[in-house]
Structure 1
Amino acid sequence: MDDNPDVARRFGVMSIPTMIVFKDGQEVSRVVGAKAKGQLMADFQPFL
Structure 2
Amino acid sequence: MWAPKYRYKVLIGDVRLRVREILRQVCAGMGVTIINGALSKDHVHL
Q: TM-score, normalised by structure 2?
A: 0.28
| Structure with greater Cα Rg | 1
**Which of the pair is proportionally richer in strand?**
1
**Which of the pair is proportionally richer in helix?**
2
Larger RCO (CA within 8 A; separation ≥ 6)? 2
Q: TM-score, normalised by structure 1?
A: 0.27
